[in-house]
A and B are shown apart, each in its own frame.
Chain A
């Protein structure tokens, strides 16, 4: 095989068949094919190969594929809506906790009535309210 045959066959299989060669290379291939029966035969075989590849008619997907697509989209939308609801619920719960927790953590300053037994132990008058804070006055009182 001549060097020009090698080059022509490479060009045939590397752009010429697909119309992807420039004008100069296309002319080079066509000139060689006019003069070389062996390369002409190979080019014919490549064309026959293309025909085989394109000979099978296109097929349509079965209708159940579209039903599957619709069902998957509907399922995704439902999950998305459920996710948004859960998020909204979580956000509402977080806001509620932010309002409630500081209130619970504030120090207790309400008046505390001592049980009668304690009042009598410390000598205080029965029935008299005493203002105390947890952790301070009450401990001194009991000591």
Chain B
């Protein structure tokens, strides 16, 4: 998590202090948005997930007594919301059409060299992540981008530790095959 959410912030937000809730949002919205973006692979879906997560969080503030429970809860709700959005995509053609539209929008902006490099990396990452099952993608995002330990991922997803191990194992095997084929490594 980028910035710290303190127990004082949670207590004040629970008492209806919207400034305190905004500080919680500023501290945590970055990781919520990025996790959602990598799992759903679409910025509009990631925005919807982020909004949904913080509205749910506000309604459930009374549940959080400790900062750690808040962090786990945020990851869990984010991952679950993002995964359910992935499942809602009815056809892969529909998803691909949306992806192509987003790429076209990005390409039409004529970015400078630095932005282009980041854009290229983003497209490579997106193409790699699209090779994975959503469950594997969720595990990989939490491990590689969020740096969470296996035990933390298992707690967030409420799955056994060995399930996390095997999902990561399969995900990296798939990605390695793709990276070799595309001469990325």
Chain A interface residues (CB < 8 Å from chain B):
10, 13-15, 17-18, 20, 45-46, 48-50, 52-62, 64-66, 68-70, 72-73, 76
Flag whether B96 is at the interface (Cβ < 8 A).
no
Total A-B contacts with CB atoms under 8 angstroms apart: 100
Flag whether B140 is at the interface (Cβ < 8 A).
yes
Q: A13-B169, A59-B34, A59-B37 are in contact. Are A53 and B125 (CB under 8 A)?
A: yes
Are A20 and B59 closer than 8 Å at their CB atoms?
no
* Per-residue interface assignment for chain B, residues 173 to 185, with 1 indicating a CB less than 8 Å from any chain A CB and 0 otherwise: 1011001100011
Collect the chain A residues with CB atoms within 8 Å of residue B50's CB: 61, 65
Chain B interface residues (CB < 8 Å from chain A):
2, 18, 21-22, 25, 29-34, 37, 46-47, 50-51, 54-55, 58-59, 118, 121-122, 124-125, 128, 140, 143-145, 149-150, 165, 168-169, 172-173, 175-176, 179-180, 184-185
Collect the chain B residues with CB atoms within 8 Å of residue A50's CB: 144
In the complex formed, the residue of A with least CB distance to B140 is A53
A64, B48: Cα distance in complex, Å: 11
